[in-house]
Chains A and B, each alone.
Chain A
Amino acid sequence: MGTKKMEKITIEVIFEQIEEVIDQLEDSEVTLEDSFKSYQEGMKLLKQCNDKIDRIEKEMIVLSQVGEDNE
C-alpha cells in the first residue's frame, strides 16, 4: 500500500513538498539537524521528480475500436 501510494504521487505534489522543504530551510529557528534532514528530503524529492519524468519520446498509441482494452 505504502509503495503503491508513492507511485501515485504526481510531480505537482512533489513540487509542493519541495516548496515546504525550502520554507523549512529558510526558517532560522530550525535546528541544524532538522535542516540537514530537510536538505536530504529536498534532494530526495528532486531525484524522485527527475526519475518520474520518463524521457523517452513516445509514438502515439491508437486503440482499436472493437472495444478491447489493449493496454
Chain B
Amino acid sequence: MIKKNIYTISQVNSYIAQMFKSDYLLKSLLVRGEVSNCKYHSSGHIYFTLKDEKGAISCIMFASKRNGLDFTLKEGQQVILHGTVDVFVRDGKYQIYAEEILLDGQGDLHEKYEKLKEELEEMGMFDQTYKQNIPRYIERLGVVTAQTGAAIQDIIQIVTRRNPYVQIILYPAIVQGEQAVPSIVEGIRQLEASKVDTLIVGRGGGSIEDLWAFNEREVVQAIFDCRIPIISAVGHETDTTLADYVADLRAPTPSAAAELAVYDYEELEERLDSYRIMVTRGIKRKLDMTRQEVERRKFRLVQISPTNRLREQKMYMLRLEELLDTKMKQVLTDKQHALSILIERMKGLSPLEKLGQGYGYLSSKDGQAMKDIKQVSVGDEVCIHMVNGEIEAKVLKKKSVKRG
C-alpha cells in the first residue's frame, strides 16, 4: 500500500458531495415512491424514506420548504417528490432534500374528473329536476369558504353594498389540500343545521389541484343532499367543477354568487312603495266609482219623487192651458175673418144696393111686398119704395106681360 495521499473522512464525503452538486440531474429530479418511516420533527422538518419494490432512499423536507406540501404525509402514501439528491457530509449518507411533494395520481386528475362526472351524471345528480329555487328575499346567507381568502372579502363587499341587513354566517373552511373535503362537507352540514336561507359554497381562483376538493365525490354528495339551496362559486369563470354541476345555481365567481344570493334592498323599498301606491289607488278608484253610482241613484230618485211629479204635472197643465188659449184665439180670428168675407158677400146681394141703381119696389099699404100682378087690383093703394123715399100711389090700370 502506497501511502501517497491520505484523506480524512470528511474530505472524502465533501468530495463526493461536490460531485453530487456538480451533477445536473441530481440538482433537480422527480422521484416516485411510497412513503415509510415518516417522522414529523418538532423543528418542523419531516424525515421519511421513499421506497419501492427494488429500493429505498432517505428523504428530508425542511421546515422552510413545507409550503411545497399541502397534505399530511403518511405511511404508505404513493407520492411524487421533487427535490435534490445531496450528501449529508457528517454521516456520509446521501438523501433527497424534498422541495415539493404531490400525491401520486394527480397527474391523472383530468381523467378522474371526467370519469366521476360521467358517473354522477348517469346517477342523475346533475338533473334539473333536483335543482332548488334560489329564494329571492333572504335574511340569512351561509358561506362555506376560507376565512382569509379573497372570496369571502368579495362576498362581504357585495352583500354590504346591496343589502347590509342580511346576516352572513361563515363556516371557515379549508378549501384546498387533504383536509378540504371533510371541512367543506362539515361546513355545508353545519350551515344547513343553522337554517340559513341560501348557501354559497366556493373559493377564489387557483390551479386545478387547488380547486380539486370541489371535484370530490363527498363534496358533490353533500351539496346534492343539502336541503338549502346552494350557489356554487368556485374559482374563475372558466373553471367548472363538479360542485358547479350539482349546485342549484352556478355562479362564475364569488362576487357573482353574492349578487345572485342577496336581493338589492333599494329595489325592495321601491317595490314596496309601488305596491302601496297601487293598493291606495285601487281603493280610491273603487270609492270614486261608488260615489258616482250613489250620485246616479240619487238623481233617479229625485226624478221619481212625488214633489217632482206634481211639479211636472203642474207644468204640463200650464202648457195645456196655454195651448188651449192659443187655439181658442186662433179659432176666433178665423171666424172673424170668415164673417168679414160673408159681410162683403152680403153687401153685394143687398136690395138697397139695387135701389141705388135706380130700381124701386112695391109694397101694399101695410108693407107687404108685391111680387105678382095678381096681388094688386085697380084702385088699390100701394107704396113705391125708392132709394131715398116712398111714394103713395093708386093703381090705375093693370096688364099682364109675358117676360122672357
Name A residues whose Cβ lies closer than 8 Å to a Cβ of B.
Answer: 10-12, 15, 18-19, 21-22, 25-26, 28, 30, 32, 35-36, 38-39, 42-43, 46, 49-50, 53-58, 60-63, 65, 67, 69, 71
Contacts and interface: CB of A to CB of B under 8 A. Distances in A.
A58 B167 contact: yes
B147 A63 contact: no
Nearest to B167: A58
Interface stretch (B133-141, B327-335, B369-377): B133-141
Contact of B282 (A11, A22, A53): A22
Could you tell me the dominant secondary structure of chain B's interface residues? Answer: helix
A56 B165 contact: yes
Q: Which of A36, A42, A43 has the most CB of B within 10 A?
A: A42
B114 to A, nearest CB: 32
Given A12-B136, A35-B283, A65-B186, A60 B164 contact: no
Contacts of A21: 279, 282
A56 B190 CA distance: 24
B268 A11 contact: yes
Interface in B279-297: 279, 282-283, 285-287, 289-290
Given A53-B268, A63-B170, A69-B194, A26 B186 contact: no
A25 B172 contact: no
A68 to B, nearest CB: 9
Given A25-B286, A28-B289, A58-B164, A63 B190 contact: yes
B73 to A, nearest CB: 22
B69 interface: no
A19 B282 CA distance: 12
Contacts, number: 98
Interface stretch (B39-47, B49-57, B243-251, B269-277): B269-277
Contacts of B194: 63, 69, 71
B283 A46 contact: no
A23 to B, nearest CB: 9
Contacts of A63: 169-172, 187, 190-191, 194
A12 B271 CA distance: 12
A25 B275 CA distance: 12
Q: Which of B193, B265, B276, B286 has the most CB of A within 10 A?
A: B286
B120 interface: no
Given A54-B139, A60-B170, A69-B194, A26 B165 contact: no
Contacts of B282: 21-22, 25-26, 35, 38-39, 42
Interface residues of B, number: 38
B275 A22 contact: yes
Nearest to B169: A61
Contacts of A71: 193-195
B135 A58 contact: no
B183 interface: yes
A63 B193 CA distance: 12
B395 interface: no
B339 interface: no
B79 interface: no
Contacts of B265: 53
A43 B136 CA distance: 22
Contacts of B171: 62-63, 65
Interface in B174-201: 183, 186-187, 190-191, 193-195
B169 to A, nearest CB: 5
A61 B290 contact: no
A58 B286 contact: no
A71 B166 CA distance: 16
Nearest to A61: B169
A42 B279 contact: yes
Contacts of A56: 165
Interface in B295-317: none
Contact of A43 (B135, B268, B279, B289): B279
Nearest to B187: A63
Nearest to A65: B172
A58 B137 contact: no
Contacts of A25: 278-279, 282-283, 285-286
17 contacts: A10-B135, A10-B137, A12-B137, A18-B275, A18-B279, A32-B287, A35-B282, A35-B283, A35-B286, A36-B283, A39-B282, A55-B165, A56-B165, A58-B164, A60-B168, A63-B172, A65-B186
